[in-house]
């Protein structure tokens, strides 16, 4: 909120004050009023607008009067219409009178100056001048009004909201640099500037004004580690950029010439919103009176602009794919061929991480999640590096971080890292509406335990806090600790659809699998076998699977866990049963390293698929062959191809499935950002 100092006038001697254009300054006409005076009148120079307002309602409103009662319930403000050409060139005369006192005058000399701190508050991608609305009163005239409202420089959400946006400058525009741009105090090049938000300071003052006054740019000490401000120095080419605010630099006295001048600043974010940082940063400008060397500098005027640091945003399966990532490891040549062919169909770029880079770590989905950050002037893909730190730990920083590709991570300062901290346990839904609440960017889905215990696993609190702090994709907690690996992508996925909500939720379903196998047994196919053609894997007949009491109990348990999540997803995503497709799947319980029974896929988990637009890369289940076709594949085709989707079944058995993962676990996708702008929503 822009605020000017209170001006106290007295009949004994003239008062001199500075008034910033667009800002009303309160004039105290009461404290030094002569004894016996009961009323006052005001006259002013042409470039001064005087307003008289009632602080509280009074019975009689003297509209049109030129004289007002000397009543503390009245407030007098002055506002300049234009900058002064010389110091104290505008005058206000206050005349006091009373029935038993001599008329007395107090003189106020004003200097009008322009001080305007501008940012892209309208979110158009450009910085526009912020023009103050002039009073309807004619210059030099006095107008009685209701109490004037305060205009705060705040940040608001929604399509009609206002407030500037700041990007964390987390890419690396200089290939020679060893780290992200925001970690140094330099502007690397013109591309680096494009990642920053523009801020300008316009000043217009009389000659020699800054010999008695100074302007200070500042940020709260609690926020100085979250932002850095560069001042452009336009002298001899090339332009130089000086750090004026940032870590350990909460304020900076500006050296400005008198007259009309514009100063350019570039602002970069240093931290994403998190548990202890809501993402808001205010930059302030203060005008100080330094004319009296015997007293401390006095505050004359203060204003500020507020930025919100852009959140990190995930993209769901329904967003168009742009690039596919996969690892080359020993024995997965055929898998790579299948993924390559699928990416070609979807017209996606393909990046293969070689064995030297991945160190035999094939789980690229677990290592990273690629999202984006966005401001009106720039959109930037940003990879979120998980804290799992296995063979692929260097891949995101070494091979993705670069010009216009950002990087960030969240480590665990305390607490143990578990499988639930890998990003196969981090998904996001497509946009949904729940009741009257809209989630235009979808909702984040993470897996946790059903309740905390000595043996339970949770996603690390640092990750949960970070995801919640982004605000725009309100996280939903699901129950995934019942699984051996513990990831949500082991029982759910999303695929695009042209009807209803624009997508379908796919849920793994033991119930659907048993129903399918029972139908096939009734049709006389009880001797058809699972795992036909798989080396070193015991084949299982349909009738044996159906008669296995232990396997049935294992899957009753798995079904109960999935049904729990089904209800959570229906409630939190606003879904109905017809928005869900049940994908046949069986699980088996095995003991983990702590001796606890956990579920893993009995055959390749078809819900753990790669979604590239309408092209699906689904783990080949090696189901019972009936009339020359896999009945599991045929069932899934019948469910998904009605939506216009194309199913490709990929053999991942030896290279992924036996290592407790599938196609989705072994791939990653960079997708197109949402067309919807995050600042237009209301969290």
Q: Which two three-digit tokens encode residue 636? A: 């899934």
pLDDT of residue 52: 86
* CA pair distance 78, 42, nearest whole angstrom: 11
In this predicted model, what pLDDT tens digit does every residue of 301-322 receive, in sequence order? 999 999 999 999 999 999 999 9
**132: confidence class by pLDDT, cuts 50, 70, 90:** very low
pLDDT at 615 over 50: yes
Task: Of 50-64, 274-288, 345-359, 425-439, give the lowest mean pLDDT range.
Answer: 50-64
Residue 355 has what pLDDT? 95
Q: Are strands 3-4 and 615-619 parallel, antiparallel or unpaired?
A: unpaired
Instruction: State pLDDT tens for residues 444-453.
Output: 999 999 888 8
pLDDT for 20 beyond 90: yes
Ordered DSSP codes for 339-371: HHHHHHHTT-EEEEE-HHHHTT---HHHHEEEE
Instruction: Indicate if the pLDDT at residue 140 is higher than 90.
Output: no
Residue 380 β-bridge partners: 373
Q: What is the pLDDT of residues 586-611, one digit of tens each?
A: 999 999 888 899 999 999 999 999 99
Q: What is the DSSP string of 91-136?
A: EEEEEEEETTEEEEEEEEEEEEEEEEEE--TT-SSS----PPPPPS
The structure tokens listed for 296 are 């401390």
Q: Which two tokens stand for residue 205?
A: 């003052």
Catalytic positions, please? 366, 487, 489, 665
**What is the per-residue pLDDT across 249-295, written as a single tens digit (0 to 9) for each?**
999 999 999 999 999 999 999 999 999 999 999 999 999 999 988 89
Q: Give pLDDT, residue 288.
A: 96
**For residues 673 and 683, what is the distance between their CA atoms, to the nearest angstrom?**
19
């Amino acid at each position: 909120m822009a605020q000017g100092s209170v001006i106290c006038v007295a009949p004994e001697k003239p008062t001199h004050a500075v008034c910033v254009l667009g800002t009303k300054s309160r004039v105290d006409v009461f404290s030094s009023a002569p004894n016996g005076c009961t009323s006052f009148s005001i006259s002013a120079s042409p470039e001064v607008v005087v307003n008289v307002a009632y602080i509280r309602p009074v019975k009689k409103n003297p509209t049109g009067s030129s004289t007002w009662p000397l009543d503390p319930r009245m407030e007098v403000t002055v506002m300049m219409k234009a900058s002064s050409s010389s110091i104290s060139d505008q005058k206000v005369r206050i005349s006091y009178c009373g029935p038993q006192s001599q008329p007395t005058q107090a003189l106020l000399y004003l200097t009008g100056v322009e001080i305007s701190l501008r940012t892209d508050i309208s979110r158009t991608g450009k910085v526009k001048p912020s023009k103050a609305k002039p009073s309807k009163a004619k210059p030099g005239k006095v107008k009685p009004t209701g109490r004037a409202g305060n205009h705060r420089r705040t940040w608001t959400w929604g399509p009609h909201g206002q407030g500037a946006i700041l990007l964390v400058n987390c890419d690396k525009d200089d290939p020679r640099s060893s780290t992200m741009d925001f970690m140094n105090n330099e502007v690397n090049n013109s591309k680096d500037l494009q990642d920053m938000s523009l801020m300008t300071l316009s000043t217009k003052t009389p000659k020699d004004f800054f010999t008695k006054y100074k302007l200070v740019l500042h940020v709260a000490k609690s926020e100085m580690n979250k932002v850095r401000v560069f001042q452009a120095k336009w002298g001899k080419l090339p332009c130089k950029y000086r750090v004026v605010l940032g870590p350990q630099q909460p304020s900076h006295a500006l050296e400005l010439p008198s007259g009309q001048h514009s100063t350019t600043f570039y602002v970069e974010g240093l931290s994403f919103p998190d548990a202890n940082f809501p993402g808001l940063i205010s930059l302030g400008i203060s005008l100080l009176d330094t004319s009296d060397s015997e007293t401390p500098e006095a505050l004359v005027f203060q204003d500020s602009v507020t930025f919100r640091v852009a959140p990190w945003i995930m993209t769901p399966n329904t967003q168009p794919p742009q690039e596919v990532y996969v690892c080359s490891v020993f024995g997965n040549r055929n898998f790579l061929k299948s993924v390559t062919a699928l990416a070609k169909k979807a017209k996606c770029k393909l990046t293969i991480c070689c064995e030297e880079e991945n160190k035999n770590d094939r789980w690229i989905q677990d290592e990273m999640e690629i999202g984006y950050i966005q401001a009106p002037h720039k959109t930037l893909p940003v990879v979120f590096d998980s804290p799992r730190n296995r063979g692929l730990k260097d891949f995101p920083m070494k091979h993705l971080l670069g010009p216009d590709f950002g990087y960030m991570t969240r480590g665990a300062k305390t607490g143990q890292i578990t499988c639930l901290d890998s990003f196969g346990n981090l998904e996001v839904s497509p946009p949904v509406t729940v009741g009257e609440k809209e989630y235009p960017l979808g909702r984040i889905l993470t897996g946790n335990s059903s309740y905390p215990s000595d043996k339970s696993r949770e996603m690390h609190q640092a990750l949960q806090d970070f995801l919640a702090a982004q605000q725009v994709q309100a996280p939903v907690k699901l129950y995934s600790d019942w699984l051996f690996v513990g990831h949500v992508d082991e029982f759910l996925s999303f695929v695009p659809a042209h009807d209803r909500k624009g997508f379908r939720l796919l849920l793994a379903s033991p119930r659907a699998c048993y129903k399918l196998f029972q139908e096939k047994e009734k049709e006389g196919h009880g001797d058809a076998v699972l795992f036909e053609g798989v080396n070193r894997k015991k084949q299982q007949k349909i009738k044996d699977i159906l008669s296995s009491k232990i396997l049935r109990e294992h899957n009753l348990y798995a079904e109960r866990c999935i049904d729990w999540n089904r209800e959570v997803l229906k409630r939190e995503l606003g879904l109905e049963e017809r928005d869900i497709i049940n994908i046949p799947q069986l699980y088996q319980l095995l003991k983990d390293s702590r001796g606890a029974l956990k579920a893993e896929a009995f055959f390749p988990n078809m819900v753990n698929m790669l979604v590239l637009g309408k092209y699906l890369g689904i783990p080949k289940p090696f189901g019972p062959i009936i009339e020359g076709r896999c009945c599991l594949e045929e069932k899934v085709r019948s469910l998904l191809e009605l939506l216009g989707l194309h199913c490709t079944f990929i053999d991942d058995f030896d290279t992924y499935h036996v290592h407790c993962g599938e196609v989705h676990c072994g791939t990653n996708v960079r997708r197109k950002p949402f067309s919807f702008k995050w600042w237009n929503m209301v969290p």
